[in-house]
């Protein structure tokens, strides 16, 4: 009976999608917080320590890593390492990375035989650099400008966009 239960448990677990994490080492002298819209609570990483960030995301979601002095924004898609960089256990896949004082995220090789993660040549797409602070503002401004011009096309009297909208569109 016990053997049958063990076999059934193994079969059930082998069919499950594993949890995928990015273990981020804080290589700064400041406490970092990581926030994502769908993930609560916020993750806090003290200086020179690490924590797991679940690598699941919703379209359009952003990852924000902040300290008392800085804040960096990333697309969650950019944080996915290549499959060869994962350490795999039953039900869990974990990759390792570190974040430096400039907000750049470097992949680390998985630990070997109970050791620590180690530096490795960076694969394509790494290190991940934070998005520029005003990049989101530009994207929002562009959406506003395009929706404003769409609205004006339904107006029988053609109007030129306001100077502020024209300036945003020209950028």
Domain layout of the chain by residue ranges? 14-119, 135-170
E strands, 55-168, are: 63-66, 71-74, 87-89, 92-99, 105-109, 118-119
pLDDT confidence of residue 88: 81
pLDDT confidence of residue 72: 93
The mean pLDDT of 15-22, rounded to a whole number, is 75
pLDDT confidence of residue 25: 95
Distance (Å, whole) CA 142 – CA 45:
35
- The answer to whether 128 and 79 have CB atoms below 8 angstroms apart is yes
Q: Work out the angle at residue 48's Cα, subtended by the Cα atoms of residues 45 and 49, and round it to the nearest 5 degrees.
A: 45
pTM of the model: 0.66
14-119 sits in which CATH class? Answer: mainly beta
For 153, phi then psi, to 5°, come to: -70, -20
pLDDT confidence of residue 150: 36
Distance (Å, whole) CA 162 – CA 29:
46
**Residue closest to 111 by CA, chosen among 119, 103, 101:** 119
pLDDT digits (tens, 9 = 90+) for 43-85: 999 999 999 988 877 777 888 999 988 899 998 888 889 988 8
The mean pLDDT of 94-123, rounded to a whole number, is 91
DSSP 123-136: PTT-SBPPBPTTHH
User: For residue 41, is the peptide bond before it cis, meaning its omega torsion is within 30 degrees of 0?
Assistant: yes
For 98, phi then psi, to 5°, come to: -135, 150
Q: What percent of the chain has pLDDT over 70?
A: 64
């Amino acid at each position: 009976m016990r053997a049958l239960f063990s076999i059934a448990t193994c079969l059930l677990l082998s069919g499950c999608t594993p949890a995928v994490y990015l273990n981020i080492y804080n290589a700064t002298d400041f406490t970092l917080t990581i926030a994502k819209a769908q993930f609560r609570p916020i993750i806090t990483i003290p200086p020179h320590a690490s924590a797991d960030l679940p690598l699941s995301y919703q379209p359009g979601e952003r990852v924000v890593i902040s300290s008392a002095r800085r804040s960096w924004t990333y697309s969650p898609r950019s944080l996915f390492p290549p499959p060869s960089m994962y350490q795999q256990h039953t039900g869990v896949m974990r990759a390792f990375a570190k974040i430096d004082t400039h907000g750049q995220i470097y992949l680390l090789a998985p630990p070997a035989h109970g050791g620590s993660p180690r530096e490795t040549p960076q694969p394509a797409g790494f290190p991940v650099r934070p998005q520029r602070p005003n990049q989101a503002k530009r994207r929002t401004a562009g959406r506003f400008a395009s929706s404003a011009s769409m609205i004006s096309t339904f107006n029988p009297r053609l109007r030129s966009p306001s100077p502020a909208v024209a300036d945003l569109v020209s950028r």
